[in-house]
Structure 1
Amino acid sequence: MSPMSDSKPKRPQSRRPSTPRIALDALMEDSAANPIKRALWLEDLDLRLRPYLPPSLAAHARLANFERGRLVYVVDAPVWRAKLRLAAPEMLDAARSVGLKAAELVVKTTIPQPAAAPVRQAKPLSAATQEALRAALDSLRDPDETKGRGDAN
């Protein structure tokens, strides 16, 4: 090596990785990812606690939150709310077995959404109906207005 080559400062390489990052990984690095991380954690927790639900109830209940020792479940009908409240001691034990400091089970019922009314297609008016409607509209008009248009009325 020549003395000149040793005196040349080395620049740190700041190359970007050549492989594209997965969009979710990029999003998770941002500070705005906290709600997303929490949602994923709650989904994972729901999947871990689901086997402890009574089989008839599992399709009707979903873990909505865990905060300050409270497990919050959402069910789709009052009957399932009652059944889950009866299973509260077992669910709290299950939550403790996966490492949560669960002290209370809260069950909320979703409000059923009314079915959308079907959209009815308007039937075309018959010729007689159209004529009667036209006559009714003409009777409401000012006579001076109809004269200006050249109507015979």
Structure 2
Amino acid sequence: MSDSKPRSPKGHPSTPKAALDALLSEPAGGPIRRALWLDELDQRFRPLLPPSLAAHARLANYERGRLVFVVDAPVWRAKLRLAAPELLDAARSIGLDAAELIVKTTTPVTASPQSDRQAKPISATALQALQAALASLKEPDPSGSKDTP
């Protein structure tokens, strides 16, 4: 019976984890390592947030003593700023030299108005006006010049 797992050229099982490990070992893996670290920090902060706020806030960055959180509405921004002293203390307790909390509000992603539009039939008046405009473009110039606009 053959093994159903795909094998790499060296005969080792090929897995997504092996691919991720290979990517992370490269110098280009720095941004991925940082994203994973920030995600881990976010998971550590999430239980420290008030339950109603945790679903609306996410740690976006930590740099030079600044914790940056992103929230999805201004009301959550205000609530998170009220929790700033506790979050800064929590950051210090896990070894971060946090001195400032910055909260940014994202804009909600909405579908563009054009994507929701359906083609609507043109009214009789609009159709007549369009036909008149097209006909006027076909008429010869009364001045007799052959220049076209």
The reply to whether TM is greater than 0.5 is yes
What's the counterpart of residue 3 of structure 1? Answer: none
Tell me, what secondary structure is at the counterpart of 1:56?
A: helix
Instruction: In structure 1, list runs of 5 or more residues that go unmatched.
Output: 1-15, 145-153
Shift of 1:129: 7.8
Percent sequence identity over aligned pairs: 63
Inter-CA distance 130–73: structure 2 relative to 1 (3 Å threshold): closer
Superposed displacement of residue 56, structure 1: 0.9
The correspondence of residues 31-110 of structure 1 with structure 2, limited to 5 A, is 31-110=27-106
Moved over 6 A (4+): 128-132
TM-score in terms of structure 2 length: 0.72
Among 110, 113, 138, the residue aligned to 2:135: 138
RMSD of equivalent CA atoms: 2.6
- Note the C-alpha offset of 1:131: 7.6
2-structure distance, mates of 1:87, 1:98: 17
Q: What TM-score, normalized to structure 1?
A: 0.70
Q: Find 1:26's aligned residue among 14, 22, 46.
A: 22
Q: 1:120 aligns with which of 88, 111, 118?
A: 118
Alpha-carbon distance change, 42 to 134 in structure 1, aligned in 2, over 3 angstroms: same
Secondary structure, in 3 states, of the residue corresponding to 2:55?
A: helix
| 1:136 CA displacement | 5.2
Q: How many residues align?
A: 128
Amino acid at match of 2:118: R
Report SS of the residue matched to 1:64.
strand
Q: Secondary structure at the match of 2:104?
A: strand
Closer/same/farther in 2, CA of residues 132 and 110 from structure 1, 3 Å limit: closer
Q: Secondary structure at the match of 1:62?
A: strand
